[in-house]
């Protein structure tokens, strides 16, 4: 899969990228803030977008909303977030396929993504 | 002086003057009226008796009556005539006696005319002053009631309405200028109190927001570096950058375990802070209790097997409890994992349900460990505390599990406690107030029948 990883923390981005490439053999592009992520998501042809919630310039939810409005055929979105309050999680559920909570386990991230996508396809 | 008391005193004095003055004059008129009425009766009596007298001589009885009447008649003229009459009888001067009798009777008729006019005069005065006193008394009562209504009752009513608003957390408080009375003073005091409460509430809201902000910043700022550390360690251990030798692997394992511990600690702390700040809204539903216990057992099966402890659910009476499933599972997980950690090898951890006299459901988790000394039993529910002793080595944990369990149970309007004596194991139990026997089982029983 071709994945866009939007994550402002360089370290976490490095780990996630490494895990996705190593264990899932995915091709990963990295965006370091919300603005860049939105531009890349709209111009590139990605199979999946992994969005961090807290990012400078544009937060994950705004990127998600704007992307879905502006893109002719939006790709699935999965949130990466340290937030665990129910209200936030509900918000994620409303506008995306699902979410992976931080701290995530890099060894499991590929299977987590796969199961979220499967559940999303089953629901659709 | 415009206090209610001083006004009531003024009203009282005016009342006393009006009612007392009018009443006094009316009483005076009544006394005169009664006196002249008696005089009139007396005059008729004398007249009647005199008409029966013989002018020549008196009987013994008549002579006594004359003497007595003389003592009762005080007007000098009337007294003199009767005295002359007595003397005439004594001198046997019958002609004089007759003339005295006739004269007295004529005089008496005139006297009665005077009496009648006096009586009607005092009658008028009695009615006049009496009505005045009565009327002013009624007016004063009405005026007092009106005054009390305006100055006291309506003010108290509006004040109590404001207090009730406060009591029900409606803080749209209207500060009005209180009247300079006792009730006004009460209102002014309440105003200052209300103002202070409102200010403090704003401060509390600001503090609450600061706490929320802190929680959200802390969860992000603490978890982000931990995510990197934990992730890097996992990848290294998984051999992403090449195989590690045994020593490196051991060190890496220590680092990873301690990172896990730190993550657990932070999660527990943030949970506790959220519960205490009431930022953890419960979403309670009717949930079957036995299933919850079974799924808790399943999650802890690994830990139980490593510790060689058996998990047992005793008499699973089918019942449903109104609870936030995830939160009560957190409580149960805390209690059961504690029980496993403190159990001896081949021990059993038992979960059972019961209903207490307060009609609450009691869920107990019993182990066969060393037990907890009475002095430690309250302490263990506090943050960062474990009961330690020679027989109780410090067990790995954050020391927050029971504090979280207690906060969660109390959020469900239940309570949590422990029964134990050293060496006898211990039984942690918590209560939940809303439960019912499972309807599902009734239908199953119907099917079986």
**Rounded CA separation B366/B336 (Å):** 9
CA A121 to chain centre: 17
φ and ψ of B104, to 5 deg: -60, -45
- Cβ contacts below 8 Å, chain A against chain B, sum to 59
Q: Which of A15, A54, A85 sits opposite B235 (nearest CB)?
A: A15
Mean pLDDT score, B431-446: 69
CA angle B396–B398–B401, rounded 5-degree value? 105
In angstroms, what separates the C-alpha of B292 from chain A's closest C-alpha?
21
Residue B5's H or E segment, with its range, is helix B4-51
Mean pLDDT score of chain A? 88
pLDDT at B122 over 90: yes
pLDDT at B449 over 50: no
Contacts made by residues B97-102, CB under 8 angstroms, sequence distance 24+: B97/B55, B97/B56, B98/B55, B101/B50, B101/B53, B101/B55
Residue of B nearest to A82 (CA): B220
In angstroms, what separates the C-alpha of B326 from chain A's closest C-alpha?
12
Inter-chain touch A15–B240, beta carbons under 8 Å: no
φ and ψ of B427, to 5 deg: -130, 110
First to last CA, chain B: 86
Residue B121 pLDDT class (50, 70, 90 cuts)? very high
Inter-chain touch A12–B231, beta carbons under 8 Å: yes
- % chain B with pLDDT above 70: 92
Q: Which residues of A touch B (CB under 8 A)?
A: 9, 11-12, 15-16, 18-19, 22, 54, 82-86, 102-107
- Considering the domain delimited by A2-123, tell me its CATH architecture: 3-Layer(aba) Sandwich (3.40)
Nearest by Cα to B335 from B418, B270, B271, B266: B418
Mean pLDDT score of chain B? 84
DSSP state letters, B149-212:
IIIIIHHHHHHHHHHHHHHTT-------PPPSSHHHHHHHHHHHHHHHHHHHHHHHHHHHHHHH
Nearest by Cα to B364 from B323, B324, B327, B314: B314
Residues 6+ apart with CB under 8 A from B63: B89
In angstroms, what separates the C-alpha of A55 from chain B's closest C-alpha?
11
pLDDT for position B396: 59
Q: Which three-class secondary structure state does DSSP give residue B287?
A: strand
pLDDT at B390 over 50: no
Q: With the CA atoms of B137, B141, B144 and B150 taken in that order, what torsion angle do they form, in degrees rounded to the nearest 10?
A: -140
ipTM exceeding 0.95? Answer: no
Find which of B89-98, B210-219, B434-443 is predicted with most confidence, using mean pLDDT: B89-98
Contacts of A15 in chain B (CB under 8 A): 227-228, 231-232, 235
pLDDT per position as a tens digit, A46-89: 999 999 988 888 989 899 999 999 988 889 999 988 776 677 78
Residue B286's H or E segment, with its range, is strand B285-288
**Rounded CA separation B243/B245 (Å):** 7
β-strand partners of B430:
B363, B416
pLDDT for position B174: 65
Q: Which of B216, B223, B279 sits opposite A103 (nearest CB)?
A: B223
Give chain B's length. 449
Residue B307 pLDDT class (50, 70, 90 cuts)? confident
pLDDT per position as a tens digit, B5-18: 888 898 889 888 88
CA B113 to chain centre: 74
Nearest by Cα to B263 from A52, A113, A105, A17: A105
**Rounded CA separation B27/B21 (Å):** 10
DSSP 8-state code for residue B394: P
How far CA B291 is from CA of A2, B296, B335, in Å, comes to 42, 9, 17
pLDDT for position B398: 65
pLDDT per position as a tens digit, B199-226: 998 899 888 788 777 877 777 788 778 8
Cβ–Cβ < 8 Å for B321, B433: no
- Beta-carbon-side half-sphere exposure of residue B384 (alpha carbons within 13 Å): 3
Contacts of A84 in chain B (CB under 8 A): 219, 270
* Test the B interface: residue of A103, A104, A108 with most B CBs within 10 Å: A103
pLDDT per position as a tens digit, B23-52: 999 999 999 999 999 999 999 999 998 888
Q: Which three-class secondary structure state does DSSP give residue B42?
A: helix
Strands B319-323 and B435-437: antiparallel
- Cis amide bond preceding B394, omega within 30: no
pLDDT at B1 over 60: no
Contacts of B277 in chain A (CB under 8 A): none
Q: Give the dihedral sign, CA B302/B304/B308/B312.
A: negative
pLDDT for position B365: 92
Residue B443 pLDDT class (50, 70, 90 cuts)? very low
DSSP 8-state code for residue B392: B
Contacts of A85 in chain B (CB under 8 A): 274, 279
Q: Give the dihedral sign, CA B256/B261/B265/B271.
A: positive
């Amino acid at each position: 899969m071709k994945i866009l990883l939007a994550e402002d923390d360089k370290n976490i981005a490095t780990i996630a990228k490494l895990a996705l490439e190593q264990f899932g053999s995915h091709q990963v592009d990295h965006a370091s803030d919300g603005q860049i992520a939105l531009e890349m998501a709209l111009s590139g042809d990605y199979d999946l977008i992994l969005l961090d919630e807290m990012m400078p310039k544009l937060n994950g939810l705004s990127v998600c909303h704007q992307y879905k409005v502006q893109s002719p055929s939006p790709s699935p979105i999965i949130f990466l977030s340290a937030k665990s309050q129910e209200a936030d999680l509900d918000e994620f559920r409303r506008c995306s396929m699902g979410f992976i909570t931080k701290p995530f386990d890099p060894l499991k991230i590929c299977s987590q993504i796969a199961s979220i996508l499967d559940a999303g396809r089953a629901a659709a | 002086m415009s206090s209610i008391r001083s006004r009531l005193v003024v009203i009282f004095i005016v009342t006393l003057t009006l009612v007392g003055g009018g009443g006094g004059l009316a009483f005076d008129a009544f006394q005169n009226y009664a006196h002249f009425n008696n005089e009139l009766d007396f005059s008729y009596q004398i007249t009647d008796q005199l008409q029966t007298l013989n002018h020549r001589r008196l009987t013994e009885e008549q002579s006594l009556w004359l003497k007595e009447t003389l003592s009762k008649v005080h007007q000098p003229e009337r007294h003199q005539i009767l005295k002359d009459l007595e003397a005439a009888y004594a001198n046997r001067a019958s002609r004089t006696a007759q003339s005295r009798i006739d004269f007295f009777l004529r005089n008496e008729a005139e006297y009665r005319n005077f009496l009648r006019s006096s009586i009607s005069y005092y009658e008028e005065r009695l009615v006049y002053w009496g009505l005045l006193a009565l009327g002013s008394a009624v007016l004063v009562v009405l005026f007092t009631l009106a005054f009390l209504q305006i100055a006291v009752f309506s003010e108290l009513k509006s004040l109590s309405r404001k207090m009730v608003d406060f009591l029900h957390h409606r803080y749209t408080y209207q500060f009005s200028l209180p009247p300079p009375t006792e009730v006004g003073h009460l209102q002014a005091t309440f105003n200052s109190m209300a103002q202070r409460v409102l200010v403090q509430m704003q401060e509390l809201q600001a503090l609450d927001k600061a706490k929320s902000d802190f929680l959200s910043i802390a969860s992000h700022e603490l978890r982000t570096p931990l995510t990197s550390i934990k992730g890097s360690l996992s990848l290294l251990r998984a051999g992403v950058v090449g195989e590690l030798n045994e020593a490196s692997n051991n060190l890496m394992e220590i680092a990873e375990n301690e990172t896990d511990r730190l993550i657990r600690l932070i999660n527990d702390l943030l949970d506790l802070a959220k519960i205490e700040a009431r930022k953890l809204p419960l979403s309670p539903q009717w949930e079957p209790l036995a299933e919850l216990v079974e799924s808790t057992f399943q999650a802890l099966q690994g830990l139980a097997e490593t510790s060689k402890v058996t998990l047992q659910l005793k008499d699973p009476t089918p019942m449903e409890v109104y609870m936030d499933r995830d939160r009560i599972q957190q409580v149960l997980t805390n209690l059961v994992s504690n029980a496993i950690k403190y159990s001896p090898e081949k021990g059993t951890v038992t979960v059972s349900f019961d209903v207490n006299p307060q009609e609450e459901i009691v869920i107990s988790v019993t182990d066969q460990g060393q037990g907890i000394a009475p002095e430690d039993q309250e302490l263990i529910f506090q943050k960062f505390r474990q009961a330690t002793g020679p027989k109780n080595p410090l067990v790995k944990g954050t020391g927050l599990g029971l504090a979280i369990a207690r906060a969660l149970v109390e959020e469900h309007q239940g309570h949590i406690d422990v029964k134990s004596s050293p060496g006898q194991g211990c039984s942690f139990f918590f209560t939940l107030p809303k439960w019912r026997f499972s309807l599902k089982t009734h239908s199953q029983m119907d099917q079986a029948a």
